[in-house]
Chain A
Amino acid sequence: MTEQTPLPFLAPAASLALEVRGIAKAFPGVLANDNVDFDLRHGEVHALLGENGAGKSTLMNVIAGLYRPDAGEILVDGASVAFGSPRDAITAGIGMVHQHFTLVPSQTVTENVLLGLDQPRFLLRERRSEAEVAALAASFGLRVDPRAKIWQLSVGEQQRVEILKMLYRGAQILIMDEPTAVLAPQEADELFATLRTMTAAGRSVVFISHKLGEVLAIADRVTVMRRGKVTASGLPTAGATKAELARLMVGRTVLDVYPREPFAPGPIVLALDGVSAFNDRGLPALRGVSLDVRAGEIVGIAAVAGNGQSELAEVITGLRPCAGRISVGGNPVANRPASDILGHGVAHVPEDRTAVGSAPNLSLTDNLIMKRYREAPVANGLFVDDDAARSFAGALRDTYRIAAPTVDTQARLLSGGNLQRAILAREMDTEPGLLVAVQPTRGLDVGAIESVHRLLLDLRARGGAILLISEELEEILGLSDRVDVIYEGRVVATMPVEEAEIGRIGLLMTGGADTDRDDAWAGKGETGPTALAEPAAPATPGSRDR
């Protein structure tokens, strides 16, 4: 299986942790990797940059033993290897953290770390393993409770568990597939610190991303891919600029600033007054939130993941019970069924587009009529008019340029950007009075992000009220008319976008200096439902716990 490279005079083998040459991988209809070369030095962070579908994940899945390449060679520490499975790869010291985590929700962090290992053989000595995991986590600055169950953890914490899993298995090379796509800025900073600790210890990191800023921030070198090919190989980030990388990545100059209509706010469409709610873990997620959104206005919610913004969207759209008052266009909607709230013209682009926003195995048509099947022309009395549904879907597909072979194509076969376009098409087409958009561009490439942003601004120009919840601060600042900062379930500040400054918002989002979130949750046992029945006093701008 291993064989010494025959050309030692060419390859400075000792300094390369990983080298791949001429990798090709084809999928039905797509040549995902076309003669790709890539190398990774010891102790470096090497970013792999490219749009969605550029072939980044495919390349890394080949290196991590998940796919077998159609052609090409992989060398680890100068020795040629062939992986039959991810297990082979991890044995060779290559571990990959995927975008979609592979954790067992009902088990603890430690159990997940140990899962699949040969040791311990029979008896789990939990305390000892927990201590080991905790020590390992601490040595890399990974904040995670080894006894917590996975389902109780935020996405950022789950990612730390995935990293821990790989470190525990002795991974020398860590492949991170778009790790920051699910993270808040502060969590991303923490991740970067961890990665730096790792490289300082001689381990190497491949950092897959399509975000230019973070690539420049974390990586030593960057390789850019476009349509399966490498367009720039091992470029040092020291001299690189965003504009240059963007050109290499998309092959054109990207617009960052959108022309927009002047702000002309209309009447209040959405009003929340002292709204409180629990999260899935039964802990208070919203603590007396009051805010409003006017017609023709985009209100951006800036918050670190897990501070209640997901629950906020669910409460407004009727997917989560709450205490307090919510009105849409003057109608009280708190705790009304989701169908009633739809009836008041509330559209929702949910955070999880594959599990909530779409039905993966149903056709594009079935997905597009989700909010329209109750009414004519799609509905015909108690029946769904198949022809009307298909022509409706076809029209949306054309208008919103959803790239799908037919309207019968299953939703799961659409790319992330196209699926999101389909969801936006469905939600926008109802001409909603209020749109609640949660992470509308998460995981999308530059081109798709631009089209989503344009759709949002178009709706605003038509007088729609938009509540934009995003962890991309630049997105919030670029689109919003007003910014509300939420921290630990409270609106801690609200300001017109002109006064919003990234540094100040970042501080507000994190609750100021060194606030430990875990402390804030203390006393959760006493907080029963009755405590929430009386909404806390509406938060005033700037008010905080301490």
Chain B
Amino acid sequence: MTFHLEPRTVTPRWLSPLVTVGAVAVALVISGGIIGLVGGDPVRSYAHILEASFGSVGVLSDTLVKATPLILTGLACALAFRMRLWNIGAEGQFLLGAWGASAVVLFPLVPAGTPGIVLIPLMMIAGMLAGGIWGLIPGVLRARLGVNEIIVTLMLNYIALAWIQFWVFGPWSEGGFQQTHPFPPEAALPRLADFASIVPGFAGLTVHLGLVFGLVAAGLLWLFLERSRFGYEIRLIGDSPRAATYAGIDIKRRLIIVFAISGALAGLAGMSEVNGAVHRLQDHISPGYGFTAVIVAYLAKFRPGRVVVAAILFGALILAGREIQPSGVPAMIQGIILFTLIVSDVLVRYQVRVTRGGRGPTVPATPAASPSAGSAGGG
């Protein structure tokens, strides 16, 4: 028996999501094997992860809190990746977004006691602006000077981290600790728990308005990518820059715009995290959301709707990381998922054909109805 890989001439719509789910399943099996190998009980470990991330309304809410920044940063990456712009800098744009939002209340740029209805939008704008500018840097460098965006975005992450550290250790430090003063209560994004007086079941639920930002952003991005003229241009540029130029599209301008929007989305993630979950700026506000976002975007095949699903999965893994020991397990699972995902792409592009022995002519299952329609024949 021999296996042949043949390029698919027709790719059914259901295939890509199915292969993705399959890849995640295979990753879980491999991870389970490794857990077993080091003496753990994979079934109990997975049960525990499930329990710890989806087991009750309370932990589900915590999972969604972890998923919120991943949705927004994942969208940021998905948008850029669609155009084959490898923005690995969502982490830095996230941090800058958090810093920009913090600046509004910490400099402060607005008088104390500004009501939330004014303050929160201002902080959103500031966060998106800061993240967007951080995204603009690699965008402009790439468009004007042809500098590789992977390196620039990666390096800017470390600059962003140092920038945050400077502010939290220095000017904004709360009594020498590596954190700032807490934000005024008006700056806090409303949580479900805030409505416990109306709906008693909401008591203790930490899900905040940032999740809505994420969902709305996903919807808008879907509209933008799949239905707008700009989205068409991005698809065209992503597939064939030369064809896009030929179609009269100014790639450099699109590139800068996409980078700015991507940065702004990641910046909004940072704002949502400090305003919704942390309520102050501090060192280590991100456990690497911006990097996990790369995997999330890949898992979602750069599609906004699927980014939300993938982000929740990874939010669960991050949350479970606190619960299960050794805590390296979720990180391992993340890595293996990325690995199986990338490998599984082969199954979307090719089909596996099994032949026995390799003797005797193989008659095609479906004879060519119209030979001119097929392209596999070669000439």
Contacts and interface: CB of A to CB of B under 8 A. Distances in A.
B235 A61 contact: no
A27 to B, nearest CB: 4
A204 to B, nearest CB: 22
Q: Which of A51, A71, A359 has the most CB of B within 10 A?
A: A359
B243 A30 contact: no
A279 interface: no
A169 B375 CA distance: 32
Nearest to A406: B10
A290 interface: no
Contacts of A373: 229, 232
B361 A24 contact: yes
Interface stretch (B50-58, B131-139, B246-254): B246-254
Prevailing SS type, chain B contact patch: loop
B246 A338 contact: yes
Prevailing SS type, chain A contact patch: loop
Contacts of A502: none
B379 A57 contact: yes
B364 A29 contact: yes
Given A53-B371, A384-B232, A28 B248 contact: no
Interface string B173-190: 000000000000000000
Given A30-B368, A337-B250, A386-B227, A415 B375 contact: yes
Contacts of B245: 319, 338
B239 A360 contact: yes
Interface string B341-379: 000000000010001001111111111111111111111
Contacts of B248: 318, 337-342, 371
A404 to B, nearest CB: 7
A326 B176 CA distance: 68
B370 A403 contact: yes
A50 B378 CA distance: 11
Contact of B361 (A70, A318, A340): A70
B353 to A, nearest CB: 8
Interface string A348-361: 10101001111111
A304 interface: no
B243 A404 contact: no
B228 interface: yes
B236 A366 contact: yes
A374 interface: yes
Contacts of B363: 26, 31
B312 to A, nearest CB: 28
Contacts of B247: 338, 370-371
Contacts of A318: 248
A51 B377 CA distance: 11
Interface in B203-228: 227-228
Contact of A228 (B9, B230, B373, B377): B377
A382 interface: yes
B325 interface: no
A358 B242 CA distance: 9
Given A26-B361, A71-B360, A370-B236, A445 B373 contact: no
B372 A27 contact: no
Nearest to B355: A70
B228 A382 contact: yes
A180 interface: no
B6 interface: yes
- How many chain A residues sit at the interface, stated as a range, is 35 or more
B371 A359 contact: no
B240 interface: yes
Contacts of A61: 378
Interface in B227-283: 227-232, 235-236, 239-240, 242-250
B246 A27 contact: no
B379 A50 contact: yes
B2 to A, nearest CB: 8
Q: Which of B11, B250, B361, B367 has the most CB of A within 10 A?
A: B361
A523 interface: no
A26 B362 contact: yes
A402 to B, nearest CB: 10
Contacts of A55: 377-379
A360 B349 CA distance: 14
Contact of B379 (A56, A340, A384): A56
A53 B236 CA distance: 28
A317 B242 CA distance: 13
Contact of A27 (B6, B240, B250): B6
A362 to B, nearest CB: 5
Q: Which of A50, A318, A369, A370 has the most CB of B within 10 A?
A: A370
A383 B229 contact: yes
B249 A359 contact: no
A68 interface: yes
A202 to B, nearest CB: 29
A350 B228 contact: no
A384 B246 contact: no
A58 interface: yes
Contacts of A338: 245-248
Interface in A8-63: 24, 26-32, 35, 50-58, 61
Contacts of A35: 361
A29 B243 contact: no
Contacts of A210: 379
A452 interface: no
Nearest to B244: A359
Interface string B140-170: 0000000000000000000000000000000
Contact of A30 (B229, B235, B377): B377
B229 A379 contact: yes
B373 A31 contact: no
A201 B102 CA distance: 80
Contact of A31 (B228, B243, B368): B368
A64 to B, nearest CB: 12
A362 B378 contact: no
Nearest to B13: A408
22 contacts: A29-B374, A30-B368, A30-B377, A31-B367, A32-B378, A53-B371, A57-B379, A61-B378, A228-B377, A318-B248, A319-B245, A338-B245, A359-B240, A359-B243, A360-B239, A362-B235, A371-B247, A373-B232, A379-B229, A382-B230, A403-B373, A405-B373
Interface of A: 24, 26-32, 35, 50-58, 61, 68, 70-71, 178, 210, 227-228, 317-319, 337-342, 348, 350, 352, 355-362, 366, 369-371, 373-374, 379, 382-384, 386, 403-405, 409-410, 412-418, 445
Given A28-B6, A382-B228, 12 more contacts: A30-B377, A32-B378, A50-B379, A53-B374, A56-B379, A58-B377, A71-B361, A318-B248, A359-B244, A360-B240, A361-B239, A373-B229
Interface of B: 6, 9-11, 227-232, 235-236, 239-240, 242-250, 351, 355, 358-379
